[in-house]
Amino acid sequence: MFLEKLMPNEFVDSIYHIDIAELQRKNIRAVITDLDNTLVEWDRPLAPPEIIDWLGKLRQAGIQVTVVSNNKQERVERFCQPLGIYYIWEARKPTRHAFLKAVQYMNVPIAQTVVIGDQLFTDVLGGNLLGLHTILVVPVARTDGFWTRFNRQMEKIALYYMRKKGMISWKSKA
C-alpha cells in the first residue's frame, strides 16, 4: 500500500529530539539527513552553533553523516564544506540512487543507517523505498520554495488519510 511507504518509523519535533544514545544502542553508525528545513531554514546559508554542536555529538558517538539534498550544488556545498560533511546535491529524492550512494560512501549497512528529513514525499519515501529507518522532523521554517509548497499540500492529504486509517497518532506537522 502506498501510504505505508510514506509512513516514517519515527516522528520528532526537531533533530535535537533525536536521542543519539538510543541510536548508538540500536547500532546506528550512519545518518543520511536532508538539509533545507531539516537542519536549517532553506534560506540560511551556514550552520549555526547548535547544528555544529549536534553534528559534533554524532561524530563523538561514532555516527557518520551525509547530507542528501535536492537543492543545487552551490547551496549544499556552501553549507557542508565548512563542516567537513560529505554531501550529495540534486539528489532527485525520492529515487533510491542518492541514498544508495550515501550508504556506499559511508560503507555502512542499510540496517545501521537512518534517514532524517522534513518531507514525506522525498525523505521518508526515498528512505523507505531502500529499507532505511526513517525519522520525520517538523520543518524548521514555515516558508518553502515552490515545489516544496506543492509537496506540503500533498503531505496534508496523505497525513489526513494516514490519521483516518489509524496509522499515526502524532499531530500533523502542517
Q: What is the pLDDT of residue 174?
A: 43
Longest Cα separation, the chain: 44
**Residue in this structure with the C-alpha cell 555529538, named with its chain if needed:** 57
Q: Tens-of-pLDDT digits for all 174 residues of the chain?
A: 677 899 999 999 999 999 999 999 999 999 999 999 999 998 899 999 999 999 999 999 999 999 999 999 999 999 999 999 999 999 999 999 999 999 999 999 999 999 999 999 999 999 999 999 999 999 887 666 656 676 767 777 777 777 777 777 766 544
Would you list the domain boundaries of the chain? 2-164
DSSP lists the bridge partners of residue 87 as: 67
32 burial level (CB within 10 Å; 0-12, 13-18, 19+)? buried
Q: What is the pLDDT of residue 150?
A: 67
Report pTM: 0.88
CATH number for the domain running over 2-164: 3.40.50.1000
Q: What is the pLDDT of residue 2?
A: 76
Cα–Cα distances in angstroms (integers) from residue 62 to residues 16, 57, 65, in the given order? 17, 9, 10
